[in-house]
Every structure is written in C-alpha cells, then in structure tokens.
Amino acid sequence: MLMCLYLMNWFIAMISIYMNHPLAIGASLLAQTILVAMSSGFLFMNFWFSYMLFLIMASGLLVLFIYMTSIASNEKFIIPNKYILMSIFLFITFMFFIIIKMDKYYLSLIFNNYPMFSLLSSKSPSSIMEKFYCSPYMTLTIMLMIYLLFTLVAIVKMIQHSSGSFRQK
C-alpha cells in the first residue's frame, strides 16, 4: 500500500511539472498533500501527524485558491494534447509498477532488500512513535513547539485588532 502511494505521488509530481494554470497546480498540490498525509500515516502507524499536515496544507491551499481565483478568474483552462499523451504514458508506467508490485516474488525481494520495511514490520506502533520523544529528538521537538508558539504570538502582535483588516474599503 505504501509503495502504491509513493508511485501515485510520483505520478502526480511528474504531471504537475508541465502544468501552467494556477488552479491545476493547486489541484495537484492538494492531491499530493492527501497522498503524503496518507503515506506518513501508514509509515508511522499513527494518523495524527498526517492529519495535522493535511489541515495545515489544506488551509494554505484555500488561501492560495481564493487569491488565484480573484486574480485569474476568467482564464481558460485548456489541456494541450502533448500533456494528455505524457500523462497516458506515465499512467501506463504507473500501472506497470503496480503489476510488478502485486507479484509475490518481486514483493518479497523489495521487502527483504530494504531495511526500512523490515524495521517497520517488526516494531509496534508505540515504539515507532518513541523516536519523536527520545533524548536526541526530544529537544528538537520542544524547540519546534516553542518556535511555533513564538511565531503565533509575533503574528498576533503584528496584526493588531485596532488596525483592522488589510482590505481597503
């Protein structure tokens, strides 16, 4: 499942390189955000971090969507033929990798050769989450929390309620 999500993410990344319409780029970013959130949820066996990642990215994408629709509201959305052919080629490649993945022999080769997969299958979910809160990473996590708190306070102080919104009336 994890390999399938990685391949779909790669497929969307290859297609999004050739996009030039802002809303298409936003849609590909949203799709990649969903795939990365699902991948991190399956990888860490806990979906809280992926849920927070999705909420943060989706809220940023909503702001970008509102901004881009106000700027480029009347721009036509046309897909050229060469992009359609390239996406068909990438989709066929993606399906080829999925067929290879479904074969039990190739699947066992992948899981035996990469130590990441064997480590994830042998550990319990609680031991996987311990690496965020163990000695070397604990200080980094606390510093990140403090940084986010200071950033929140600084943004609240910069945007005073008395100054109102940035929009001109």
Crossing angle of helices 81-102 and 2-16, in 10° steps, is 170
21-53 pLDDT tens trace = 777 888 888 888 898 888 888 877 778 888 888
Specify the pTM.
Answer: 0.53
CA distance 106 to 136: 37
Q: Tell me which DSSP letter residue 126 carries.
A: H
Q: How far is CA 17 from the centre of its chain?
A: 16
Query: Could you give the residue ranges of the DSSP H alpha helices within 103-134?
Result: 104-113, 115-122, 125-133
CA distance 8 to 56: 21
In this prediction, residue 8 has a pLDDT band, given cuts at 50, 70 and 90, of confident
Q: Which residues, 6+ apart, have CB-to-CB distance to 47 below 8 Å?
A: 41
Where do the domains of the chain lie? 2-124
Of the candidates 57, 49, 62, 71, which has an alpha carbon nearest to the alpha carbon of residue 133?
49
- By three-state DSSP, how is residue 21 classified? coil
Quote the percentage of the chain above a pLDDT of 70.
Answer: 67
Of the candidates 36, 43, 35, which has an alpha carbon nearest to the alpha carbon of residue 120?
43
